Each structure stands twice: as structure tokens, then as C-alpha cells.
Amino acid sequence: MAVPIAVLDCDLLLYGRGHRTLDRFKLEDVTDEYLVSTYGFPRQFICYLVDLLGATLSRPTQRSRAISPETQILAALGFYTSGSFQTRMGDAIGISQASMSRCVANVTEALVERASQFIHFPEDEATVQTLKDDFYGLAGMPGVLGVVDCTHVAIKAPNAEDLSYVNRKGLHSLNCLMVCDSRGVLLSAETHWPGSLPDCTVLEQAALTSLFETELHKAGWLLGDSSFLLRTWLMTPLHIPETPAEYRYNMAHSATHNVIERTFRTIRSRFRCLDGSKGTLQYSPEKSSHIILACCVLHNISLEHGLDVWSSPATGHMEQPEEEYEQMESVDSEACRVRQELLLTHFS
């Protein structure tokens, strides 16, 4: 005779029935130092996230005992900042590893839904001018609206046949195109591109290109390295500088563009799930892309709250595939004219 098999809830076994939500961990019961060391952020920041995401994370559920928004957020922050579903992390807030995984998924989607609220280019003229002034203050490069580059995040192999995510170093990754301002605040983040695509191809196909070609290019330009083609809205360094003005231009370009390299390092330092030290993201490319974007949202929110991530030690060591490219000379005569005018006006 067949014996029916019941599907058991790990949390139900551990904690039984009784309340509709499981408030197993109270922020007020622990110190700020503990929260920062375990979850990466102080109490005030976590409370802000509870207010921001609480309604979304309290959606109706078929589960008899829903996990509170506060607990879900702590679980997700624990994963983002440590890079693993550690048993001790779940024990600390009183949930199983399976529930930890569900919490990460819920919080990730809630943050992704709000990405456009926290990651965007400024629109009003005064803020745009402040953006340019801040960049000019770094190294004397005028008209800069942002610095752009790509960074790779390692993911598990989607399947044996799909080679589109294999990068130049033979690793599976997502190639993420990002733009930041002079403080490291992200203005754009496209995290879904397959790792096999070179940076120039990612930019060519990106929404960022459509945005600048249709709306923003008259207001200024982005700075990109030599893996990108020169455009009227994207200034790249000169391949072989010859004149003093060209050397000055390249030096100012390099010093300004370095901001995004610092930003990449500090994002990986704060969000260890992205740095490769704990292995690859064990999710599909789509879910991995959402986790990366969620971390980008948290990065910007942390800067809004005065949390200086650049003061954090750079612990990440995810190897970034080096682009093997020839210097691509632009066939856009108007772009060449714009760069030459910039050289003559500001660096001669």
C-alpha cells in the first residue's frame, strides 16, 4: 500500500505554527557593530530598506507563516555581502537555507523593480551642470556627464551547449555595462550582457547608446577607454599622443575615467557575492543579472545615506577578462572634429 508523502516546511518543523509572520530577529536586540559585521550595513540603513520594501515583501502568501520583511532583508543583505548561504547566517535570524534562498529572490526582485528610481541620469539643467563641474574638478576634463566601462561577474554555466557566456578567459560571466558620476554613483547599469561579447559590442547594442544618440549627446559626453569607438557623445583617449595638448588630454581622460574602476572595485568589495571569492553566482543568467542590479541599487542607496564605500578595503579578486583589441579609429568624422575641438579649446 502506498504511503502518502507530505511536503514539509523546514521553518514549520523548526518553529511550529502560531503567528502569521516570523519575527525571529529584532534589530533593537543587537548593536550596530554586529549588524555591520554580519550584514554589511548599519541599523538606520536597514530600517530604511524595511520602509522602502516592506509593502512589496508583505505580499499575500499561501504559506501559513510568512517571513517578515525585516528578516527577508537581513537574509538578502547577508548573502549579498558574504557571498554564501551560510548555515550560521540562517541560524542568526532563525530561518533555514531554503528560506534564505527565497528571501534573496524576493528582496532582489523588489530592488530591481525600483532600479530606475535610484539609477538614472539627472534631468534638470542645474543638476547636469553640477555633474559636469564635479568631473571638471577631478582633472580638468570639461563637459563630462559620466564615465563608462564594462566589468565581468562570474556565473555558473547555463548549460554545456551555450557558449555565449564564455568570456575570453574561458570563464562563464555576464558583461555589465555601467556609467557612474564623479562620486561613484551609478547613472546607468545594464547587467545582462553575455560574457562572450566584447565591450564595444555591448555598448553598440545597449540602451545607453540609444539614450545618448537621441537625447543627451548635445549636453556633453561620456568618457570611455580604448575598447570603445569614439563618438560625438563618447570621448576616448588618443592611441598615440604626439603633441603636448594630446598628452594633457590623455592624462586628464585617464585620471577622470579611473573613477569607474574604483567604483567597480568597491562594489565587489562590499558585495562579495559578485567578487568571485566565494565562487560563481549559482543562478541562471537572468537571475544573476537581477542580483547584480540589486547590488547596484544598494550601492547607490548607500551613497545617498553617506556610507562611503570607497573607504572599505578592496577584498574582491574576481579576475576581469582583459580586452584584446586593436585601437579602433573612428570613421565618424564629426566625432573626430568634436575631440579635436576639445583638444584645441581646453588642452592647447
Nearest to 309 by CA among 317, 321, 301: 301
Q: CA separation (Å) from 237 to 82, 256, 316?
A: 37, 11, 28
Contact call for residues 212 and 233 (beta carbons, < 8 A): yes
Q: Tell me whether residue 299 is in a domain.
A: no
Residues across the chain: 348
Let me know if 186 is exposed, middle or buried by CB neighbors in 10 A (0-12, 13-18, 19+): buried
Q: What are phi and psi of 277, to 5 degrees?
A: -70, -25
CB atoms within 10 A of CB 217: 17
Predicted confidence at residue 26, as pLDDT, reads 72
Domain shared by 162 and 178, yes or no: yes
Instruction: Assess whether 163 and 195 both reside in one domain.
Output: yes
Which pLDDT does position 9 carry in this prediction?
42
Please tell me whether residues 229 and 95 are part of one structural domain: no
Domain assignment present for residue 198? The answer is yes
Residue 251 lies in a domain: yes
Is residue 3, in this structure, part of any structural domain at all?
no
- pLDDT given for residue 317 in this prediction: 44
What is the pLDDT at residue 60? 62
Report how many domains make up the chain. 2
SS3 41: coil
pLDDT (0 to 100) of residue 29:
75
Residue 198 in 3-state DSSP?
Answer: coil
What pLDDT is stored for residue 88 in this prediction?
55
Residue 71 lies in a domain: yes
Residue 6: predicted pLDDT: 38
Tell me whether residue 308 is in a domain: no
265 and 208 inside one domain? yes
Residues 191, 146 share a domain: yes
Out of 76, 94, 117, a domain closes at 117
Q: Which of 171, 174, 165, 172 is nearest to 196 (CA)?
A: 165
CA distance 103 to 71: 8
Report the pLDDT value the prediction gives residue 312, as an integer from 0 to 100.
Answer: 46
Which whole-number Å values give the CA distances from 154 to 16, 165, 220, 317, in the listed order?
A: 39, 9, 33, 11
Strands annotated E in the chain: 21-22, 66-67, 144-154, 173-180, 186-194, 221-223, 234-235
Whether the pTM exceeds 0.85: the reply is yes
Q: What is the pLDDT of residue 176?
A: 98
Q: Which amino acid is at 344?
A: L
Residues 113 and 188 in one domain: no
Low-confidence ranges of the chain (pLDDT < 70): 1-25, 59-65, 85-93, 160, 216-218, 278, 309-331
Position 92, amino acid: A
Residue 267 sits in the same domain as residue 219: yes
- Give the C-alpha distances (Å, rounded to integers) separating 89 from 174, 191, 251: 27, 27, 46
Residue 176's φ and ψ, nearest 5 degrees, are -105, 125
Residue 19, domain member (yes or no): no
Residues 220 and 92 in one domain: no
- Does 17 reside within a domain? no
163 and 141 share one domain: yes
Q: Helix, strand, coil % (nearest 5) of the chain? A: 50, 10, 35
Same structural domain for residues 269 and 336? yes
**Distance between CA 198 and CA 178 in Å, rounded?**
14
C-alpha of 200 from chain center: 19
Same-domain check for residues 72 and 92: yes
How many CA atoms within 13 Å lie on the side-chain side of 261? Answer: 9
Residues whose CB is less than 8 angstroms from the CB of residue 174 and which lie 6 or more positions away in sequence, other chains included: 152, 153, 155, 165, 191, 192, 193, 194, 195, 285, 288, 289, 292
Domain of residue 240, residue span:
119-286+328-347
> Do 138 and 234 belong to one domain?
yes
